[in-house]
Structures are given as structure tokens and as C-alpha cells.
Structure 1
Amino acid sequence: MSQKRVTLIVSDLHMGDGGAGDDFVDDRHQFATFLRAQAARPEGRAGEVELIINGDFLEMVQVLPDAYKGNPSDAWCSETESVEKLECILKGHPLVFDALAELQAAGNQVTLFPGNHDVDLYWPEVRARLQTKVPGIRIENEIVYTRYDDRLRISHGHLLKSIDPANGFEHPDHPIVNTNTPPRLEICPGTLFMVKFVNLMEAKYPFADNLSPVTALIRILAREDRWGLTSLAWMFTRFAARYPSALLGEGTSQGQVGAQLLNAIQGDRYLRQDIAAFCKELLGREVTEADIRRQLSTEDAVADLIGEFFRADPTLGKWVSIFDGAKPGTLGEAGGGTLSIVESGNTDARGACTEIARNYCNAGAQVFVLGHTHLPQQMSFGASRYYNPGSWTRYVEDTSKLTLKMLEDETAFPYELNCVRVEDGGAPLLKSEMITVEKRR
């Protein structure tokens, strides 16, 4: 590979279909404008630039959900489904792909590193279709990528478990589940949780899918002063508990919520009547109060029904209120007595990134770049520099004070559109800086 004098690194564009649900901040075509500005610089005109999109360029997890016909508990997209999703993204952002093609055509290099949201880049047909739009585009697939004789090292970060264990893959070099017909991609726990739950809430709570880690949504629900929402958080936790170290963190307890729900349903016929009414209204299922008492005799059965109600109405409408009636008179101990997910799994993403960066810089990297967390960050370790450009989406620094209501207004959250610029000027040390294209607080 011919190394370019200048390397530009952006991360986490999450480019979707260009519609109202697309989290990519490109309302004034900021990314295409940025690309054309870089192409117009002397190094761009001379073909001396490599643009690296460091993971999660394409929002394959959320775009065109109807294209996916598989079972998310089993595997992610087939090659045909991934191509169909890609076509939707290509149609939604023609100016971006035109600008990428123009940058590449001038002798520069466009390189993609797959992230957890676009593992679909592994498919040959996806790569081939991208090649038709941006001839010469390159896709690399490593945990850590190097340039300039290892002086520059780059990683999206989703495969580094100390940052986010929920979004790794068992076989990142070959993430194919061959037992499926047709073959499908592996699905990581984070994507599974997004597909089964978070994506369904986006119509009313558009910022829900921007939370990191994804299980922050559980903690937000558990903090709400409504037992119905605590019950929903408990159902989510029971699902996430199948992947305890990935989604919840070790030592997480589901507390007494399930037992309280079960006791209330078994002991309150008026509550059972309300549940039976919603079975008819939401699920089209005729059941009696006696049927409910018989059918909801275990915590698993209660969780399954809450899951059915949620999928029928993810706006969390009237059905949530019926579980408010199951609230106990005394909640017992705070946190562990109800639902200890409130604090569990709250990974210090900045701290984990800093420690990883320190280790790579101590091992010889002059510049180390991460993505994935959506949190802009930069610091020095002696003569070495660490950068995380953040994302081209809206983000939040601290989820501990968020409420469910806040998730309804995505425009209330900030964004910061950054690019890391690295230059090899022939000196022993690389030059590097963070460029801010646009920010809004």
C-alpha cells in the first residue's frame, strides 16, 4: 500500500436513509462539504490524502428494518439483506458518495474500517456495490490498524473489551454463521438489544438509540417514579442477563421486581382484569381474568407478556399504567432491593479509552486514535498524542441524570463534528491535530 502524506480520520457517522430517523448530522450536507474542502487543499489536489472512516460509517443496524428477515437471537443479516440496506443508504446520501468518489478519483485514498454497526462490510457483495459508487475504496478488517511504520495506530474500539464488551464478535476476522441458510453474520449482544428493543422506541424517543452503553436505557427506566416503567426495565434486564458480562456487568441482580409483579397479579383480580383487557386491545387475544391468573404463574410468563405489550406499543402508552398497580407499599432497600441495574454496567468509557491509549503510546505509537464511544477526547502522553474524534451524531456525556421524557427531544443534545489530521512531514515525529468542522452545544 502506498502511504499518503496526510491521513484524515473521522468516526461514527452512522449514516442512515437520510430521513427523519437518521442520526447522522448532515442537515446542511456538512460531511460532503468537508470532503470537498479537503480535496481542494494542496495535499488533496496532489492526491496525498488518505481518508479513514474509523468504524460505524453505515447505520446498518437501524436502516430499513423490514429488509432483515432473520431471528435476531440467532444471527444478523444475510448478504442479500445487507446489500438491500446499503442501497437504502446510498439513495439517502448521494452527495456524500459523490464527494467520496471525487476525493478518490483525484488520487487520494478512501478507507473504511468496519465497526459494530456496519459489520455488513464483510460481505463481498456489499464491498462490490460500494466499489461501483466509489471506485478504489478500500476496506480493512483488523482490531488495530497502523500507518507510518506503526507510529500511527487506529482502532474503532468495539473489539477492545475494556471499552465496551457488549459489541464485540467471537470471530471478528470471519464473522459468518455458516449454520444458517443462507449464511448470516454474527450478531453481538449490543446489536441484539438494539434490534429487539431500542429501535422500536425511536418513533417517540428518538434519542434512545444514541445512548452508550445501550443498557443505559434500562437504568433510565428503572429510575422513573413509576412501577410500570420499573417493570419494563426488569423485563429488559431479564433479557440482558443472558449476556451478563457483556450487557450488564458482573454482579447485577434483578432484585425483587419479578416476585412483586407475580404476587400482585396472582392476588389482585382487578389487575388481572386490566391485563385481560389489554390482551384484547393490543394483542387481539380474548382471555378472561381466570386465564390470566393461570397463564401468569411464573416470572418468565410475566416477562414474556410485558415483552408482547412492549412490541405492540413501544410508545409506552396506557398499558404501562396497569403495572403501576403492582407497586408494593414498601420498596425495600434502594437499588438492590428493586433493580440493581440502575448503577450496574455504567462503564467509564473515557477512563477505559485513556488507559488503552496510554498503553499503545507507551508501546511506541506517536499518535493513537479511537472511536466508538461518541465522546470527543484528546490528551498527551509525553510526545505522543491520543485522539477520539467522537461521532457525527448527537451525543450525551453523562446518562445518570437523563429521564425518559428527555429522550423525546433529540435536538436538545449537542453534537461536535470532528476530524483528526495526521501528517508525515519527514521529521521523526508525526504532526497531529483535532479539527472541529462544526459544533452545537
Structure 2
Amino acid sequence: MNRSARWWLLSDLHLGVGDEDPRRPGKVLPDFLRREVLQASGPQQHIVFVGDTFELAGLTEDESLARLDSILARHPEIQDALEGCAARGVQLHFVCGNHDVELARPSVAARLSSLLSPVEPAQVRVHPWFLHVPRVLLAEHGHQHHALHRIPELLRTAVSGTDELDLPPLAAWHARPSNSRLSRAGAVARAFLASERAERRVRELAYGELLEAEALRLELGGAAVRDLARLSRFRTMSVLPRTATRMVLAAAGRSIASEEAPAAAGQVARTLETHGSAVAWYVSGHTHRALEATLEGGATRYVNTGTWCSDVRGRGPDQSDRRTFPYAVVDVGLDGATGGGLQYWRPDAG
């Protein structure tokens, strides 16, 4: 980059049409935006929501538009604060997660822009897959590296949403909570087969054209984007035991714990480096475990931005103190040098 900038990154607010979450992310976020982002001065500022900002998945186009309208109407203070940020020149970025993949629809992305920045819609950008800032950072939600949530034909959501896509295995399980376990297991089995078929389709020419178009948007070489897309694949034989383990733990009210940077983070960093596109920071969310670490074999720092909802799964301070909210800051100097990392914010801080 040729000028200084500050990037604020947070994820997994899971804002819906209701406000039942005891942690009240919809009430906390506006205060954070006003007191931290709008009070900051100096470099160009960017806010990045690294996926699962909204509960917005598996809907038709009309349903997606109506749900987005309802969510922001339910949280007017968020809309006002984000609109204030955009009006002040703060660039707003929304990276799609598995819970808000419908944001990638052109009509839904346009609606979000018109609601948050009616005067200058370009102040709001939606990223179907990931956000890339050359030499500085790459931010993606992370569900593409989690086979149970992986959407093989992810870039098709920017064309037709999820109208023509099948649910990932875990989404198929949760989509039928009132059904019998046998019925839900059948839905998961069908989702397995659908994911296998989708993985074959992404190797065809039509999807390759979508990857080439995405490479231009991301300012990355086509070979680098293709290699990044190949890092994760759905493989039934390796996913089956993980699915069974996940379902057993879920029935017992437990989750799989991990306090280390995922292997995929290192693979992403090495792939970018191989193609001469190394970044200083790789940021993701999805796991609800806030974490910062140096990736083995390189200089890239990894940050997971955790969650602002009540489903905290890490062992950081936000687990013991639910009035503590994780986010990341990446500062870029005039010389291109970067600094920052994982931070925590308290609403009652001075």
C-alpha cells in the first residue's frame, strides 16, 4: 500500500431478527463503533466484518432481502452507527460466512450498500470468499476449510445465492431440528453425496471462469487463486468420522476444543508466499475461539477474531468475562510496515 491505513476486524455477531442473545452484540457494537472507530483519527480506516455478521443463509432472493431489512430494522442503532462511519469515509467490508452467505447475492449486497451508505454506496463492499489487501492481509471467514460447513461452489452464491446449491452436511443436520435423528441423518447422508458432486463440478471449466474473474477482483494471480481454492476439499472418507464425533459431542453439549492456529492457516500463508503474494496477516473467524499466533515456517501472523455472541468456545478472557469482546487491528504505515494484533474491548472501559 502507498499510504497509511487502519483495519478493524471482528466477526461472528450472528445478528438476527430477534435480540435474545444474553451478550447483546446488537447493543454493544454501536458503542464500539462510536467510541473506537469514529473517535480515531489519522489514517484511512476500514472496518471488516469477517463473516457470520447476520443470520442470513439458505433463503430465496426475496426472503434474503426481507430478512436483511428486518435485521437492520431490529437493530437501528447498528444501522445508524455504520451509516455514520460510512459518511465519515470509513470503508465498510463484509466477508461472507456460512451463516450470511446470501450477502453475496448482487441484489442483497446492493441493498446492504443502500441501507448503510445511501449517498455513496461504494463505501460498502461485500466479499463472497475473502478480502485481500496486497502484502498486508487476507481475511476469510474460514468455513471453506471446515468440511462440515464447506460450500464447494461458493462463488456461485455471487450469481444466484444458494438457490441452486445444496446444504453442507452440518447445515443439513441443523436445518431439521424438530425431525427425528434418523430423518436428520438421512438429510446429512444426502448432503454428503451433494458435496461430493459439487467438488467434481468445481473442477470444470465453468467454475474455472468464476475463479479467474475472482482473481482479477482480488488482485491476485489466477494460479494463486486456483491453488487457494484447492487447499480444502470435501472427502467423504475423512469427513465421516469427524461428523460422527461432532454429533456425539453435540448431543452431550460439548464441542471440539483447539487452542492452536488451524493447519489451513499455514497452508494459505505458504500458498500466497509461493506465488509471490505473501501477506503480513491472515485473519479468520468461524470457530468462535479468539486467538493470535505466528504461523510456522513464515512471518505471517494469524488472528482469529472470535465471536461477539454468547457461544464463546475459546479460553481467552472473553470466556471468563462475557463483557469482553475480541477484535483485531492491523495498522499500516506509510512505508508499508504493519503492526497490531488481537485486542479486547469492554463497553465500560474509560
Structure 2 equivalent of residue 30 of structure 1: 28
Structure 2 equivalent of residue 184 of structure 1: 163
Task: Report whether the alignment pairs 1:119 with 2:27.
Answer: no
Task: Report whether the alignment pairs 1:90 with 2:72.
Answer: yes
Q: 1:150–1:349: structure 2 CA closer, same or farther, 3 Å change rule?
A: farther
TM normalised by structure 2 equals 0.69
Contact map agreement 2:54 2:100 (CA 8 A) in 1: yes
Aligned residues with identical type, % of pairs? 23
1:208-233 CA distance string (max 9 Å, x none): xxxxxxxxxxxxxxxxxxxxxxxx54
1:293-351 CA distance string (max 9 Å, x none): xxxxxxxxxxxxxxxxxxxxxxxxxxxxxxxxxxxxxxxxxxxxxx995369x996747
Q: Secondary structure at the match of 1:394?
A: coil
2:55 to 54, 59, 82: 59
**TM-align CA RMSD:** 3.9
Q: Secondary structure at the match of 2:24?
A: coil
1:193 to 154, 161, 173: 173
Structure 1 equivalent of residue 144 of structure 2: 159
Alignment of 1:209-228 (within 5 A): none
Structure 1 equivalent of residue 46 of structure 2: 50
Q: Secondary structure at the match of 2:190?
A: coil
Displacement, 1:373?
Answer: 0.9
Contact map agreement 1:395 1:415 (CA 8 A) in 2: no
Displacement, 1:54?
Answer: 0.8
1:250 to 240, 248, 256: 240
Structure 2 equivalent of residue 14 of structure 1: 14
Displacement, 1:157?
Answer: 0.6
Q: Secondary structure at the match of 1:191?
A: helix
Contact map agreement 1:51 1:109 (CA 8 A) in 2: yes
In terms of Rg, which structure is larger? 1
Q: 1:368–1:34: structure 2 CA closer, same or farther, 3 Å change rule?
A: same
Displacement, 1:142?
Answer: 4.8
Q: Secondary structure at the match of 1:374?
A: coil
Aligned length: 287
CA distance, structure 2, for counterparts of residue 413 and residue 194 of structure 1: 29
Task: Report whether the alignment pairs 1:395 with 2:343.
Answer: no
Structure 2 equivalent of residue 355 of structure 1: 263
Displacement, 1:171?
Answer: 1.9
CA distance, structure 2, for counterparts of residue 117 and residue 247 of structure 1: 26
1:113-165 CA distance string (max 9 Å, x none): 11111111122332232222211343333533221x233111111122xxx21
Contact map agreement 2:15 2:55 (CA 8 A) in 1: yes
TM normalised by structure 1 equals 0.56
Gaps of 5+ in 1: 62-75, 202-231, 255-338, 399-410
CA distance, structure 2, for counterparts of residue 85 and residue 378 of structure 1: 34
Q: 1:247–1:126: structure 2 CA closer, same or farther, 3 Å change rule?
A: farther
Structure with more contact order per residue of length (Cα contacts < 8 Å, sep ≥ 6): 2
Alignment of 1:318-337 (within 5 A): none
Contact map agreement 1:141 1:173 (CA 8 A) in 2: no
Q: Choose 185-194 or 243-252, whichever is displaced more.
A: 243-252
Structure 1 equivalent of residue 333 of structure 2: 425
1:8-64 CA distance string (max 9 Å, x none): 1011111112433x577337x210000011234342xx5720001111111124xxx
Structure 1 equivalent of residue 300 of structure 2: 384
Structure 2 equivalent of residue 39 of structure 1: 37
Q: 1:340–1:372: structure 2 CA closer, same or farther, 3 Å change rule?
A: closer
Contact map agreement 1:422 1:432 (CA 8 A) in 2: yes
Letter paired with 2:16: G
Gaps of 5+ in 2: 193-234
Displacement, 1:357?
Answer: 2.3
Contact map agreement 2:306 2:312 (CA 8 A) in 1: no
Structure 2 equivalent of residue 109 of structure 1: 91
